[in-house]
Chains A and B, each alone.
Chain A
Amino acid sequence: MNTADQYLKAIYVVQQLEDGPASTGAVADCLDVSPASANEMIGKLESEELCNHEKYKGVDLTEDGIVRARDALQHYCIIERFLLEVLEVDEFRAEAQQLEPVIDETVAERLDTIIDRAPQCPDCFDHEADVCSLLVNQHDAVDAD
């Protein structure tokens, strides 16, 4: 996933959590980058009409930005689910974060052909826990067995 898509996903997640515009500080924290870097990339995304940035208010994704952010979130869900379901990785959340930048969307879509993802994805994503809520239940159920 490229850097722009990672930013769009982060803005989307922060907007869901804050139920409004995302502060650049929160986006920077989410991606573990400096506020200056976040500001620079948000400027680029704004020039591509993927978001609107208002000083002191925050960042709002445009409709096009939301579509791309939700696609990026789906690809992230695919990586998490693939790691847990196919490779049986217990630390699937941490590893998905590490692998996200190097797994392209075409690769994620092919991995999607062998996992069992819910049709409502990515609406079932738990933004606070940074994981698909259905996947957490599935993981807990396996652990309980």
Chain B
Amino acid sequence: MSLQSPLSSDHQLARLLQIGVVLEEVVEARAAKHASESDDIDSEVRATLEEATVESERHRERLETLVDELDAETIGFEQIQRLVEQQYETDDDFDGVLYDQLCNEETTYKFYDDLIAAIEGSDVSFSVDCDHLLEVLREIRAEEEAGVEEVTALMERDQS
């Protein structure tokens, strides 16, 4: 156990980016599953889920490029999709499509926010261009933030 800064090498940065890829894959798989299998959602919710699926795919591809630059590998989408399917069937805590999507968006937003702070707080020189790395992560974080707002608006609409 340690309180040391977690970002002190390319290896640790690559590991965190790999986790980011997996989170995006989880979002992509869950949103796609909800969009295709939920009968009781309207066209606006379905469109939001479909957009989220496409957006997550785009995010993970951008992260994969960064991981690649660090000479590391990422976990294939099919493997994560299979794991999502397995656990989904036994998920007792499922609270609805929009709530799940809100968790997805909030989680990825928080992850990028923490990762950006860790990179900014690190005095290590990574082998990837740090300005480019932060630019990519900030753009993705902004899209996740917009996603949180979009889903929140849909939830508020349903409650009114």
- Asked if B1 and A30 make an inter-chain contact with CB atoms under 8 angstroms apart, the answer reads yes
Please measure, in the bound complex, the distance between the C-alpha atom of A101 and the C-alpha atom of B26, giving whole angstroms: 22
Interface class of chain B by DSSP:
helix
A85-103 vs B, Cβ < 8 Å mask (1 yes, 0 no): 0110100000101111111
A102's partner among B75, B84, B103, B118 (CB-CB below 8 A) is B118
> What number of A residues sit within 8 Å (CB to CB) of B?
32
Within the complex, what minimum Cβ distance (angstroms) separates A9 from chain B? 8
A31's partner among B1, B7, B103 (CB-CB below 8 A) is B1
Q: Is B140 an interface residue (CB 8 A)?
A: no
- Asked if A114 and B83 make an inter-chain contact with CB atoms under 8 angstroms apart, the answer reads yes
Within the complex, what minimum Cβ distance (angstroms) separates B14 from chain A? 11
Question: What is the interface of chain A, defined by CB distance below 8 A to chain B?
Answer: 3, 6, 9-10, 13, 30-33, 82, 86-87, 89, 95, 97-104, 106-107, 109-111, 113-116, 130
Bin the interface of chain B by size: 20 to 34
A107's partner among B79, B84, B88, B110 (CB-CB below 8 A) is B110
Residues of chain B from 79 to 118 with CB closer than 8 A to chain A in the complex: 79-80, 83-84, 87-88, 91, 103-104, 106-107, 110-111, 114-115, 118
B13-41 vs A, Cβ < 8 Å mask (1 yes, 0 no): 00110110011001000100000000000
Which residue of chain B has the shortest Cβ distance to A30 in the bound complex? B1
